């Protein structure tokens, strides 16, 4: 038997990177989450060659003090939780302290940041997990992270990258989810020299939906809202006449996080039963919020899936809210809800 040995931090981070950073879009998602957790009101995303060459995220959030910079890339180092007890009350998007450790292990990574009360900023350059340089620099308050040559030292992963267009498609989807979840934040997205989106802050989710999916979709949406014992549901669902051939236009946000949940997708489908033809899917942009104690987000490394304490109750609330709404809505006469 070979001897058992403790893996080095570098190997541990590469393994974590395999889980958390599947492709450039995963890095974009993680960095945007960090900016939002830092209280940013503006987030600028710049991409080159589908993210394989460059991912740059600049925010106007709280910034990072120079002495904390090395810790940002240490694994399991986070400013967001401090104890096991905190895990049950997570109010931030991040808490695992893994993303920057993973990303900086498999890229050429530059962190430039300045806290609001500092006279100047600091920058730290990291190559494949090794800090190359840390020094003062000029920069506005906030944080800029640049990731170059993602996966340059993990050739197998690099080989799995698809075309520039496909990778940018995934980035664009990650960006869309974030922009829909936070309409009050100003976001921009640039690919090469092309400014793909410039989304000034707005108060109504419908405005963002209009920008991404067009007026025809946005204007027919049915607004829904309900509250039941600390669980609130709000947002929009599509008129049955605007169904889709797949479920890709179903957006569900839980406490500001885009999630996928089979049971809730099922509830949505049930609500439209009798309203849609077989093989058609409703459109939805739904936001749920509940006390963090009622949901475990520590289920999946990318946090795309969560576990509800009482999923039956959430299921019934979604189904009940939509059914009630449909009964009182002026839906197309050919699509009468059953019962
Ligand atoms: P997590 O988000 O789970 O805490 P990360 O690896 O994503 O872990 O980030 C590590 C730490 O770096 C964060 O806890 C935070 O303190 C700091 N950090 C990362 N990005 C930013 C940012 N854009 N602005 C301010 N602080 C940041
Ligand atoms: Mg994070």
Query: Cα-flanking dihedrals φ and ψ of residue 59, to 5°?
Result: -135, 165
CATH number of the domain within which 269 lies: 3.30.230.10
Same domain, 192 and 88: yes
Cβ-contact 288, 231 below 8 angstroms: yes
**CA–CA dist 114, 123 (Å, integer):** 9
Q: Is residue 1 part of a domain?
A: no
**CA–CA dist 34, 30 (Å, integer):** 6
Is the minimum distance from the CB of 94 to ligand 1 under 6 angstroms?
A: yes
Continuous segment of H or E residues that includes residue 215: helix 215-219
Residue 257's alpha-carbon distances to 7, 15, 178, 286, in angstroms, are: 32, 24, 8, 11
Same domain, 98 and 159: yes
Could you say which DSSP state residue 195 is in?
Answer: E
Same domain, 114 and 22: yes
pLDDT on residue 182: 98
Q: Is residue 299 part of a domain?
A: yes
Is the minimum distance from the CB of 72 to ligand 1 under 6 angstroms?
A: yes
**CA–CA dist 99, 95 (Å, integer):** 10
Same domain, 191 and 218: no
Cα torsion 169, 172, 178, 182: sign: negative
Q: Is residue 333 part of a domain?
A: no
pLDDT on residue 321: 98
**CA–CA dist 176, 36 (Å, integer):** 14
pTM of the model as a whole: 0.95
| Of 199, 228, 250, the domain-final residue | 199
Six token digits for residue 312? 């039956």
pLDDT on residue 335: 46
Q: Is residue 155 part of a domain?
A: yes
Same domain, 193 and 222: no
pLDDT on residue 334: 44
CATH number of the domain within which 127 lies: 3.30.565.10
Cβ-contact 295, 206 below 8 angstroms: no
Give the number of the atom of ligand 1 that is nearest the alpha carbon of residue 103: 6
Following CA atoms 18, 21, 22, 24 in sequence, which dihedral angle do they give, to the nearest 10 degrees? -140
Same domain, 48 and 85: yes
| Of 145, 174, 199, the domain-final residue | 199
Between β-strands 42-48 and 54-59, what pairing exists: parallel, antiparallel or unpaired? antiparallel
Tell me how crowded residue 134 is: count the other CB atoms within 10 A of its CB. Answer: 15
**CA–CA dist 202, 191 (Å, integer):** 23
User: How many domains in the chain?
Assistant: 2
Q: Is residue 3 part of a domain?
A: no
- Output the CA 89–ligand 1 centroid distance in Å: 18
Helices (H), 251-300: 262-271
**Mind listing the pLDDT tens digit for each residue in 45-76?**
999 999 999 999 999 999 999 999 999 999 99
pLDDT on residue 19: 85
Cβ-contact 122, 109 below 8 angstroms: no
| Of 199, 227, 244, the domain-final residue | 199
Q: Which domain holds residue 316?
A: 214-328
Q: Is residue 36 part of a domain?
A: yes
- Output the CA 99–ligand 2 centroid distance in Å: 5
Cα angle, residue 51 at apex, residues 90 and 182 outer, rounded to 5° = 40
- Output the CA 168–ligand 2 centroid distance in Å: 21
Same domain, 239 and 127: no
Same domain, 93 and 155: yes
pLDDT in tens for each of the 339 residues of the chain? 899 999 999 998 898 888 889 999 999 999 999 999 999 999 999 999 999 999 999 999 999 999 999 999 999 999 999 999 998 899 999 999 999 999 999 999 999 999 999 999 999 999 999 999 889 999 999 999 999 999 999 999 999 999 999 999 999 999 999 999 999 999 999 999 999 999 999 989 999 999 999 999 999 999 999 999 999 999 999 999 999 999 999 999 999 999 999 999 999 999 999 999 999 999 999 999 999 999 999 888 888 999 999 999 999 999 999 999 999 887 754 444 444
pLDDT on residue 332: 59
Give the number of the atom of ligand 1 that is nearest the alpha carbon of residue 92: 2
Same domain, 72 and 172: yes
Same domain, 66 and 149: yes
- Output the CA 258–ligand 2 centroid distance in Å: 15
Q: Is residue 15 part of a domain?
A: yes
- Start-to-end Cα distance in the chain: 67
- Output the CA 166–ligand 1 centroid distance in Å: 28
Query: Taking the CA of residue 210 as centre, how many other CA atoms within 13 Å lie in the half-sphere pointing to its CB?
Result: 9
From 72, 113, 303, mutation site for ligand 1 pocket: most ligand atoms within 8 A of C-beta: 72
Q: Is residue 336 part of a domain?
A: no
pLDDT on residue 98: 93
Is the minimum distance from the CB of 102 to ligand 1 under 6 angstroms?
A: no
The ligand whose atoms approach the alpha carbon of 298 most closely is 1
**CA–CA dist 93, 255 (Å, integer):** 9
Query: Taking the CA of residue 271 as centre, how many other CA atoms within 13 Å lie in the half-sphere pointing to its CB?
Result: 28
Same domain, 192 and 102: yes
pLDDT on residue 336: 47
Same domain, 166 and 223: no
ipTM above 0.90, yes or no: yes
């Amino acid at each position: 038997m070979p001897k058992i040995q403790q893996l080095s931090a570098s190997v541990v981070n590469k393994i974590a990177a395999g889980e958390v950073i599947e492709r450039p879009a995963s890095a974009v998602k993680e960095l945007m989450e960090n900016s939002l957790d830092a209280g940013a009101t503006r987030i600028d995303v710049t991409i080159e060659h589908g993210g394989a060459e460059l991912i740059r995220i600049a925010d106007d959030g709280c910034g990072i003090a120079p002495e904390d910079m090395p810790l940002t890339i240490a694994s399991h180092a986070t400013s967001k939780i401090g104890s096991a007890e905190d895990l049950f009350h997570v109010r931030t998007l991040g808490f695992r302290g893994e993303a920057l450790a993973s990303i900086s292990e498999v890229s050429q990574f530059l962190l430039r940041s300045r806290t609001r009360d500092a006279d100047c900023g600091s920058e730290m350059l990291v190559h494949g997990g090794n800090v190359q340089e840390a020094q003062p620099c000029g920069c506005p308050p906030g944080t800029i992270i640049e990731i170059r040559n993602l996966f340059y030292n993990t050739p197998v992963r690099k080989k799995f990258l698809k075309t520039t267009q496909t990778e940018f498609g995934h980035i664009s989807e990650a960006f869309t989810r974030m922009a829909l979840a936070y309409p009050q934040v100003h976001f921009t997205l640039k690919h090469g020299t092309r400014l793909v989106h410039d989304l000034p802050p707005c108060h109504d989710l419908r405005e963002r939906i209009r920008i991404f999916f067009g007026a025809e979709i946005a204007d027919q949406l049915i607004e829904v809202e309900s509250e039941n014992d600390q669980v609130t549901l709000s947002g929009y669902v599509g008129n049955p006449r605007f169904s889709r051939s797949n479920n890709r236009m179903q957006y569900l946000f839980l406490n500001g996080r885009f999630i996928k949940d089979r049971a809730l997708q099922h509830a949505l489908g049930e609500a439209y039963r009798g309203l849609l033809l077989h093989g058609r899917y409703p459109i939805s942009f739904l936001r749920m919020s509940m006390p963090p104690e009622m949901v475990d987000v520590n289920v999946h490394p990318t946090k795309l899936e969560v576990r509800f304490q009482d999923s039956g109750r959430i299921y019934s609330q979604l189904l009940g809210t939509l059914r009630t709404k449909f009964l009182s809505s002026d839906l197309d006469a050919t699509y009468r809800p059953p019962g």
